């Protein structure tokens, strides 16, 4: 541990989950920032060893003691666990970076995307900073850059969400369904897919192989899904636009990793594609990949495993000079979860180091 | 043929294609309308026998002679073949119902959806009636019903388009790619899908298995795809709204049959979900399937092989009382192509019979 002397101690709470594993990869790539890295999970995972920064680290059970002496604690656990334990970590002096939905809309908890609103992370009355939902994160860096210049007024968003957004159960369900449909007529006849898949719908309630499912999350008022409400509420909070008009429809597609979104973004005044492309081409955390004549536009198969938000199909609406159309892809496990949390934690570490 | 005496003669031009085969099923279900049904295709398909109305009919090669004595000719052939041969059929006295893109925007050719603008089929200066593109057809019956009461002002549409929209080559490509990815890690790691699929991208230029591809058709001005332009131009023409604001992004998904669309529809004044649901529940050709609390929303796996436009996820935009959000599914080979053509042909047959 001598090499880490003087550097802040990091706890990863939920280290064994799908996002936790990606987190350990990212921490290994950013190896020089942290002192001790403590891996914490549920009691049933305690004693397992996971590799981080090239060394095996034993997972310890979540407890008050495990959260002691921690400078920054990254949580990736279910909402109810975060609700219970994040305040415990904060009370013991840690700054908590939480990836659950438990605190995102709490007015005393900042919701931070380092490329968009890094300043917000400095004011954290509860000692907690929230990480946005993966769907919001898949588009918000690009939209933040455009908003800074053009002033955003309205968003109409449709998602093409990967099954890993529903965790390992989502990935396993798609894998199982693909093997079940492999011997069928592949959905050219009524009922093909449903007959093949039977009741094996996992977390999706409908078959997701060879299908698209217009639902993600749980039911909210007036027919909206929780996922759709998150994209609206979180976009408003991150951009500091409490009255932003946002209409979202979330749809699950048979893609393993990377969320894609179509975005119709209306601004305060007239926009040009030329200037929009300049902004996107130079914005930190954004890759502009947009030359359809050469077959260039982002797709999940290209974007998986990468850090940035990829943007293509940039067009000005033909009938509204104030609106742009975009197709956006982001890795829901990296920028959509682990990477953004790590970036927030590094922001906090830099601030703590400067004190 | 005695049973068919006095009934109009129908020619099916392009009888052996993917849409043509569905057409023959539909004609068999509507068996009592037509006298002779003549099956016409390219010379290389001549001599084949196909079943229609329970009898085997020999396919004849496309020629002036084959188009003689025909009352109604349904064309499902490439644009350039339609451009050449539809006027020949019309000159010999047939009313042509054309499913290509050759004539859709011709001001002297009506573009008809029988549930929306049946009257338009009566004025056909060139003897040709056009059938809309499958993507337009997947939503326009529902939108026509809502427009009739609320007055449509603006559409923002994103598509989830099936591979069969690219013909048999599209279906074969998805089938081949699914077998190639079956043994892989399924896109959890960078490059998985692309490595597995290699150059086998068929008509899509990018892998479509375990992926979504934000492109359909050919490149038009300012980065728009031909498919996106069709949805805009055709919706305006069918609804008789030449200034309708329409923004579309077309995306191919790994679904075999049934196009799905998310629709943000803005109307002249305030709308209510209750009245919208009443309209959709009673509109001919529309099925309202919308109870997300009970897991009820349309998906391609349920809709494939059926005739209507299915509508679910009906919500009023939270920040705009004049806008509705919808998720719409339609079988791109039935209502999206063969069925609407057959309905137009039957409209024309009824008119001819009444003369």
Q: What is the ipTM of this complex?
A: 0.94
**Catalytic residue list contains B4:** no
Q: What is the pLDDT along chain B (355 residues), one digit of tens a residue?
A: 445 568 999 999 999 987 888 899 999 988 789 999 999 999 999 999 999 999 999 999 999 999 999 999 999 999 999 999 999 999 999 999 999 999 999 999 999 999 999 999 999 999 999 999 999 999 999 999 999 999 999 999 999 999 999 888 899 899 888 888 876 666 567 677 888 888 778 899 899 999 999 999 999 999 999 999 999 999 999 999 999 999 999 999 999 999 999 999 999 999 999 999 999 999 999 999 999 999 999 999 999 999 999 999 999 999 999 999 999 999 999 988 899 999 999 999 999 886 5
The residues that bridge with A98 in the sheet, in sequence order, are: A75, A130
For chain A, the distance separating the N- and C-terminal CA atoms, rounded to the nearest angstrom, is 23
For chain B, the distance separating the N- and C-terminal CA atoms, rounded to the nearest angstrom, is 23
Give all domains of chain B, ordered by start, each with its CATH number: 10-131+338-354 (3.40.50.720), 136-162+212-330 (3.30.360.10)
User: Between chain A and chain B, how many beta carbons pairs sit less than 8 Å apart?
Assistant: 235
Contact B213 A254 (CB under 8 A): no
pTM for this prediction: 0.95
Rounded CA separation B132/B229 (Å): 12
B160, B212, B290: best to mutate for the A interface, most A CBs within 10 A: B212
Candidates B299, B305, B327; nearest CB to A211 = B299
From A177, A156, A162, select the one nearest A228 (Cα to Cα).
A156
SS3 A144: helix
Do the beta carbons of residue A96 and residue A89 sit within 8 Å? yes
Distance between B278 CA and the closest CA of chain A, angstroms: 16
Rounded CA separation A68/A88 (Å): 10
Do the beta carbons of residue B246 and residue B227 sit within 8 Å? no
SS3 A204: helix
B262–chain A Cβ distance below 8 A for any pair: yes
């Amino acid at each position: 541990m001598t090499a880490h002397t003087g550097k802040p101690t990091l706890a990863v709470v939920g280290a064994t989950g799908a996002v936790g594993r990606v987190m350990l990869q990212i921490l290994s790539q950013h190896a020089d920032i942290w002192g001790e890295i403590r891996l914490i999970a549920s009691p049933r995972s305690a004693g397992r060893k996971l590799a981080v920064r090239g060394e095996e680290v034993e997972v310890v059970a979540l407890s008050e003691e495990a959260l002691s002496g921690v400078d920054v604690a990254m949580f990736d656990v279910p909402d109810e666990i975060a609700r219970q334990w994040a305040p415990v970590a904060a009370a013991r002096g840690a700054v908590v970076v939480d990836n659950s939905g438990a605190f995102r809309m709490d007015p005393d908890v900042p919701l931070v995307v380092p490329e968009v609103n890094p300043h917000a992370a400095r004011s954290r009355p509860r000692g907690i900073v929230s990480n946005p939902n993966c769907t919001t994160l898949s588009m918000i860096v690009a939209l933040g850059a455009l908003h800074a210049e053009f002033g955003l007024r309205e968003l109409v968003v449709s998602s093409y969400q990967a099954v890993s957004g529903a965790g390992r159960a989502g990935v396993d369900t798609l894998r199982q369904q693909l093997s079940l449909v492999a011997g069928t007529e592949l959905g050219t006849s009524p009922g093909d897919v449903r007959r093949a898949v039977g009741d094996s719908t996992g977390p999706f309630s409908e078959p997701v192989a060879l299908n698209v499912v217009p639902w993600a999350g749980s039911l909210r008022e007036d027919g909206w899904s929780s996922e759709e409400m998150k994209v609206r509420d979180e976009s408003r909070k991150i951009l500091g636009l409490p009255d932003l008009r946002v209409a979202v429809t979330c749809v699950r597609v048979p893609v393993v990793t990377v969320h894609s979104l179509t975005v119709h973004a209306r601004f305060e005044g007239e926009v040009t594609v030329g200037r929009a492309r300049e902004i996107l081409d130079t914005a930190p955390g954004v890759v502009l990949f947009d030359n359809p004549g050469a077959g260039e536009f982002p797709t999940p198969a290209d974007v998986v495993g990468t850090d940035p938000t990829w943007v293509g199909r940039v067009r000005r609406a033909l009938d509204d000079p104030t609106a742009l159309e975009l197709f956006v892809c982001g890795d829901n496990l990296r920028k959509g979860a682990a990477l953004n949390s790590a970036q927030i934690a590094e922001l906090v570490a830099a601030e703590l180091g400067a004190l």
